[in-house]
Amino acid sequence: MRGLSLLQAPPFVIPFTFFATGVSFWFLSSLFAVYFSFRGGINLPFLLHSQTVLFALFVMFGALFQMLPVVVGAVIENPIPKAFIFYFPMLLGAFIFLSGFFTHKTAITKTGALLLYASVMYGALLMLFHALKVKSYIPTSRGIKFSLFFLVVGVSFGVLWLFFPYDVRIFKTHYTFMLFGWVGALIVSVSFQVIEMFFTTDAYPRIFSMNFPYMLSFSMLLAVFMDGFIFKLPLSLLFFTWSFMTLKRLYTRRRKATDYTIYFWYLGLLMLCLSLVFFLMDRFMTFLLLFVLFFSSIIAAMLYRIIPFLVWFHLSNLNPQKAPLMSDVIKPERIRVSFFLHSVFCLLCTLGLFKLASVVFVVSTLWLAYHTVRGGLLYFELT
């Protein structure tokens, strides 16, 4: 994001609305986690999709609105109406979709899924259309394009699976492209840019970063269409390799100042490596849990970085005298508390203490939601 100008960046209200929605509904999903854990039964489809749809999808769309013009060089003109024309249907569709899972009403689930599908496809194709018009010279730009394509494939097979629920191949395609393709590819691609920039590290090997989307595509196809440990191995090794590269860069970073967002990265990478082990062992439920802990840790780390940066950036361009320091938008000691809560939650989940974990989950998500929203509102207070 070097040399960023205000003309390139979308209005602050767009990414902030998506971020605030995502973290608010992450808190809401934690309340349902408490309800299910103390009731004695887990509604896995509801809980999983509340994490991937209400939390990850909204936050990642918000991040993409910011990154497309800045990193990819793809400017969406008149972005506010184009953003909100799919934000509201996506929000409504997500509510109906999850209501169907909660009530076990298939008709409601399908209705919500179709509305959600239409809105997600609009957003993904809008971004992909603009991104494809720009040639990719850096790995993050290329990875973003592929991740949007993987999202289109993943949600399409998700809707298809609702109508053909007994086709295992459709289900495998859905979760592989959504988890490894959409979420995984986007996190990895963004890391190629932000790890070096935020933490002053060495760059990733270009031969790896530029070819990551191609290796991922091949590995996912193997995992989907072939069965057995050996065909899951390339996909797992690819993410293991990225994890170790990232850990090495964070550990050997040149700027050694205490930064608790780094610890979120450490925790997330640990959860990813554990999830890959269980993925290879065909322990699907454990894999899902650990993979969710992985991407939620990384997203939390990114939010604690992005919100202060965007508030400072927009205010410093509009009125430099009113621009706060990034450390004043969200205090470092507040991030430290958030990391402690989230790490305790992850530990309790890995130990199988789900009732206690769900209670900590509520406190952790409320803490993140409050500071994300409060930090963003500072922009509106000072303008």
Residue by residue, pLDDT tens for the chain (383 residues) are 444 455 567 899 999 999 999 999 999 999 999 999 988 777 888 999 999 888 999 999 999 999 999 888 888 989 999 999 999 999 999 999 999 999 999 999 999 999 999 999 999 999 999 999 988 889 999 999 999 999 999 999 999 999 998 889 999 999 999 999 999 999 999 999 999 888 888 999 999 999 999 999 999 999 999 988 999 999 999 999 999 999 999 999 887 778 899 999 999 999 999 999 999 999 999 999 999 999 999 999 999 999 999 999 888 877 777 788 888 899 999 999 999 999 999 999 999 999 999 999 999 999 999 999 999 999 998 88
pLDDT the model gives residue 6: 55
CB 308 within 8 A of CB 326: yes
The token pair at 320 is: 């430099």
Q: What does DSSP assign to residue 184?
A: I
pLDDT the model gives residue 3: 41
Query: What's the pTM?
Result: 0.94
Neighbours of 2 (CB within 10 A): 5
- H helices present in 104-228, as ranges: 106-131, 139-163, 168-175, 185-199, 206-225
Q: How far is CA 311 from each of CA 9, 59, 368, rounded to the nearest angstrom?
A: 12, 16, 17
Domain ranges of the chain: 13-382
Q: Give the C-alpha separation, 354 to 209, whole Å.
A: 37
Phi and psi angles of residue 162, each rounded to the nearest 5 degrees, phi first:
-65, -30
Closest CA to 61 of 78, 84, 81: 84
The token pair at 207 is: 């031969």
Fold of 13-382: Cytochrome C Oxidase; Chain A (1.20.210)
Closest CA to 93 of 53, 33, 152: 53
